[in-house]
Structure 1
Amino acid sequence: MGRWSGMPRTSRWVVRVLRPWLMLLTKRDWQGAEKLPSGGYVLAPNHLSHLDPLLLSHFMADHGIAPRFLAKSTLFDMPVVGRILAGAEQIPVCRGTGAAAESLRAAVAAVGAGQVVSIYPEGTLTRDPDCWPMTGRTGAVRVALSSGRPLIPLAQWGAQEILWPYGRRLRVLPRKTVHVRVGDPVDLTDFEGRELTEELLHEATERLMDALTALVSDIRGELPSGPRVEVRDVQRKLEDNHPAKEQ
């Protein structure tokens, strides 16, 4: 239990409750953990399933890392879930509002203080029909450049076989293998010390998504068959289907 001693008490409790079930119900192919640096950094995984945070937390906890994510602020309003997220020191993010910038500042502060913060660069579950990474949002890159700490791509595969993106039916048996590949830190040295313009952030984010796609390709043993799905197009469609309510 010593490897979990640095985690918030709530995180340790969650790990002790859920880890035995995950050990029982999944198989693991985890590679590249030796590439994880010491101190604070941004972990940038692809997003396949609503189970991703749970399965990624398993990987992180087993390597002595306190799972910490940017989570939708609405989850913190749920009576039980909200208390667990707050106790585990997750970082609430209000999408599409000025408060989102405050969430990134909180992430920068956490990483600068030596913590690991996981940020899904796609910002939502992939809408690619074959589950390849889409284009990315700039939050992960912004936090890494603002904090001066490493940006680590992490590819995972297998969660979508247990729970398909936007699906509701769990397929636990037969046991599925959860694959994880940790990549080398994304080289952002040519962006350091420069103004964080949208153009610069998008260029750096494209570099991150290239790294993630290469790692997913390595796991799957194949290359994408088409161009990346544009995450901004996905967001526009979601907004069209679920327009904001008038205040």
Structure 2
Amino acid sequence: MIIPPFSLAVKFRFHGRPLPKTGAFVLAPNHYSEIDPLVIGVASWKLKRLPRFLAKASLFKVPVVGWFLRTSGQIPVERAGSRSHAALRAAEELAENGRMVVVYPEGSLTRDPDLWPMRGKTGAVRIALEGDIPVIPVAHWGTQELMPRYGKKIHPFPRKTIDVIVGDPVDLSAYRGLPLDPSVLTAATNDVMNAIAGLVGELRGEEPPAERWDPVVHGQKETGRLEDGAP
């Protein structure tokens, strides 16, 4: 079991509201370290919900993180294409069965130089709006001390403190019942990303940027890009 050894390396401090004890919802975290799924997985377990992830396939090759994802039955997402859409459908089925599904709306590690959440993709809100279930934003800070962005090694000692804050469900009522065209999905995704960025700002004691980092606008090449918000 990963929890006891992980607890030797990490101390969690929880803020905000508890996770719902029952029922389906999409949990939407920020993403800036390869070890994020392990951090969010352990945090969710400590908050009394069993996590199920829609996770980028390459994460399954990361030491420790990959083992955790494979052994806990998570859903690998390939590059854009039929397998990507099959993964989304698998996540939808989990939601239909009352499970919590973790989806990283950014799709990959943020490219923002200061680790703020970047532009989101639409997978999380698509699952939520199609299934008529909530999106609950969550943010963590301190994970970069355990494994830096793009880092290949975990630094367990000295023991790290990671703050986790759970926000209120994002109000998506304005979008429910509308055709899920790109404009609707983009607007709803922006609302989710603003909520996540606000939570990150609370943990950091800073005001988040007024605009999300956009790799296209900033002339950055998105490597490992996936469709529909899959990480």
Given that 1:110 and 1:117 are in contact with CA atoms closer than 8 Å, whether structure 2 keeps it comes out as yes
CA deviation after TM superposition for structure 1 residue 58, in Å = 1.0
Alignment partner of 1:194: what SS?
coil
Query: Aligned match of 2:28 in 35, 40, 44?
Result: 44
Given that 1:71 and 1:92 are in contact with CA atoms closer than 8 Å, whether structure 2 keeps it comes out as yes
Where in structure 2 are the equivalents of 1:188-227 lying within 5 Å?
188-224=172-208, 227=211
Structure 1 residues without counterparts, runs of 5 or longer: 1-16, 241-247
Where in structure 2 are the equivalents of 1:147-226 lying within 5 Å?
147-224=131-208
Question: Are 2:18 and 1:34 aligned?
Answer: yes
Change (3 A) 1:81 1:168: closer
CA offsets per residue over residues 154-197 of structure 1, 9 Å max, x none? 01111111111002343333322111000000001111111100
Where in structure 2 are the equivalents of 1:99-114 lying within 5 Å?
99-114=83-98
Question: Are 2:126 and 1:137 aligned?
Answer: no
State how far apart, in whole Å, the 1-side matches of 2:60 and 2:18 are.
Answer: 33
State how far apart, in whole Å, the 1-side matches of 2:213 and 2:126 are.
Answer: 21
Equivalence for 2:39: 55
Q: Give TM-score, length-normalised by structure 2.
A: 0.86
Alignment partner of 2:161: what SS?
strand
Alignment partner of 2:163: what SS?
strand
Segment of structure 1 superposing worse, 104-113 or 210-219: 104-113
The structure with the largest alpha-carbon Rg is 1
State how far apart, in whole Å, the 1-side matches of 2:144 and 2:112 are.
Answer: 12
Given that 1:36 and 1:182 are in contact with CA atoms closer than 8 Å, whether structure 2 keeps it comes out as no
- Which protein has the bigger helix share? 1
Question: Are 2:54 and 1:70 aligned?
Answer: yes
Q: Give TM-score, length-normalised by structure 1.
A: 0.81
Change (3 A) 1:152 1:226: closer
Change (3 A) 1:56 1:84: closer
State how far apart, in whole Å, the 2-side matches of 1:111 and 1:206 are.
Answer: 22
Change (3 A) 1:164 1:21: same
CA deviation after TM superposition for structure 1 residue 146, in Å = 0.8
State how far apart, in whole Å, the 1-side matches of 2:70 and 2:148 are.
Answer: 27
State how far apart, in whole Å, the 2-side matches of 1:235 and 1:64 are.
Answer: 41
CA offsets per residue over residues 114-139 of structure 1, 9 Å max, x none? 01110000010111111100010000
Change (3 A) 1:82 1:227: closer
State how far apart, in whole Å, the 1-side matches of 2:87 and 2:219 are.
Answer: 20
One-letter code of the match for 1:158?
A: G
Percent identical pairs in the alignment equals 43
Alignment partner of 1:204: what SS?
helix
| Matched residues, number | 223
State how far apart, in whole Å, the 1-side matches of 2:191 and 2:160 are.
Answer: 30
CA deviation after TM superposition for structure 1 residue 88, in Å = 2.4
Alignment partner of 1:177: what SS?
strand
With CA pairs under 8 Å and 6+ residues apart, which has the higher RCO, 1 or 2? 2
Given that 1:49 and 1:125 are in contact with CA atoms closer than 8 Å, whether structure 2 keeps it comes out as yes
CA deviation after TM superposition for structure 1 residue 220, in Å = 0.6
State how far apart, in whole Å, the 1-side matches of 2:57 and 2:218 are.
Answer: 20
CA deviation after TM superposition for structure 1 residue 82, in Å = 7.4
Alignment partner of 1:69: what SS?
strand
Change (3 A) 1:77 1:156: closer
State how far apart, in whole Å, the 2-side matches of 1:29 and 1:97 are.
Answer: 39
Alignment partner of 2:76: what SS?
strand
